[in-house]
Structure 1
Amino acid sequence: MSAAKTPETPETKARARRWSRVERFAVRMTFVAIGLPPVALGVAVLLHMNGDDSAFGVVWWVVGAAAVVLVAAAFLEIHAQGHLTEAKFAAGYLSAGMVDEVIEEPSEVLAPSTLTLMITAELPGRVRIRRRLDSSMYQAGPGARVGQTMIFRHNTLDPDDLGDVVFVRFTGMVQKRRRR
């Protein structure tokens, strides 16, 4: 199993900063969407106390607009998180490791079980690293089994930094290409 260092470039740093800004913007959108309806309701109550009942119709429009903004912020945050993780590890080490253990945690609801993979990789210089990969970080499926080799990225050579990992692919699996 080997590792190769990808050179860190100004482009990868800029990409990480850009997706970090997008993620922060999505969080701000969420706060605005959550805070806007109570503010609108407060203004409507104050206007009602002064004898104007027409403001309550506007509150429903504000609540609807806030719901749309909240959904848009959620999608933007999810999209940005994936790209931000990819950008943070773009200049990291690319390694091949073997799945040592597959831990299945049954779900209490009707959702699929959570799989956690324990991975070990031998790096040059007799360095042996261990990483933990949760099924939320890769496409869990029948391909996750003990002894399978997988490709992953990591930023440190710390042997016990279990969370320093991003999934790339399982080896031996052919990825389908999109036809254009």
Structure 2
Amino acid sequence: MSENTEYSQSPADNARKRLAAPVPSPKYVRRQLRRWTYLRRTFIVIAVVSGFVMVVSLITDLQKQPISLWIAATSFILMAVCTMLAESARYRLRAATFARAHRSTGIVTEIVFIPPPTPDYSHSHDFMIRATTEAGAVIRRRLDMGGEREADRWVGQPIRFQHRTLDPENLDDVYFDYEDRKASLDLHR
């Protein structure tokens, strides 16, 4: 039996291997930050301009010009697409911000239920995490988990996350992406 087979290892070992990715260089990270910042700003500007063009074409539609309806429809589609692309760029910008971050595994100590602003919305959860870093410092972080369905099962469970500073009380310095979520679920097994 080969020791290199992934099937012979526990899910926790597989999660540790998956998260042991090489750290990108500072030059690469700066380039990614500039790129995603530029793209996000560009998409926002295009969305705002196309929204303005849409409003102007709808106002000129009062004279019943058929071309202004086509301009309005095209502007609306362009605005919607650019808004979605700007949101995608925001997500990638946040990921690039944490590209050289520390990865830690902590324990969910508490779940804070945040009531919805109106009865139409569902409530959201914040996980309070306590972790010990490789340097031995104990840090606390607050992780917004949105509307996690089975939030109660996370209490006392290990969770993998990223943070940029070792400040023990910087609660908002946390990033939790898909790979961290998958690794945290593998640690529960």
| Partner AA of 2:106 in structure 1 | G
Q: How many residues were matched structurally?
A: 162
Map of 2:128 onto structure 1: 118
Give the TM-score of the pair, scaled to structure 2.
Answer: 0.73
State the distance in 2 between where 1:35 and 1:16 align: 29
Map of 1:155 onto structure 2: 164
Residues 1:169 and 2:186 aligned together: no
| C-alpha displacement of 1:132 | 0.9
| Partner AA of 1:66 in structure 2 | S
Residues 1:140 and 2:148 aligned together: yes
CA RMSD, 1 decimal:
2.7
**Is this contact kept in 1: 2:54–2:76, CA < 8 A?**
no
1:1-180 equivalences under 5 Å are 6=23, 8-41=25-58, 44=60, 53=63, 56-107=65-116, 108-136=118-146, 140-142=148-150, 145-167=154-176, 168-169=180-181, 171=183, 173-174=185-186
| C-alpha displacement of 1:119 | 0.8
| C-alpha displacement of 1:84 | 1.0
**Is this contact kept in 2: 1:19–1:80, CA < 8 A?**
yes
| C-alpha displacement of 1:140 | 2.6
For structure 1, the 5+ residue unaligned runs are: 176-180
CA deviations 1:42-79 (Å, max 9, x no partner) are 6x38xx8xxxx46x322212221121011101210221
Give the TM-score of the pair, scaled to structure 1.
Answer: 0.77
Taking only the aligned residue pairs, the percentage that are identical comes to: 27
Which structure has more strand as a fraction of its residues? 1
State the distance in 1 between where 2:127 and 2:76 align: 37
For structure 2, the 5+ residue unaligned runs are: 1-19
CA deviations 1:94-132 (Å, max 9, x no partner) are 111111111122433444320111111112444111111
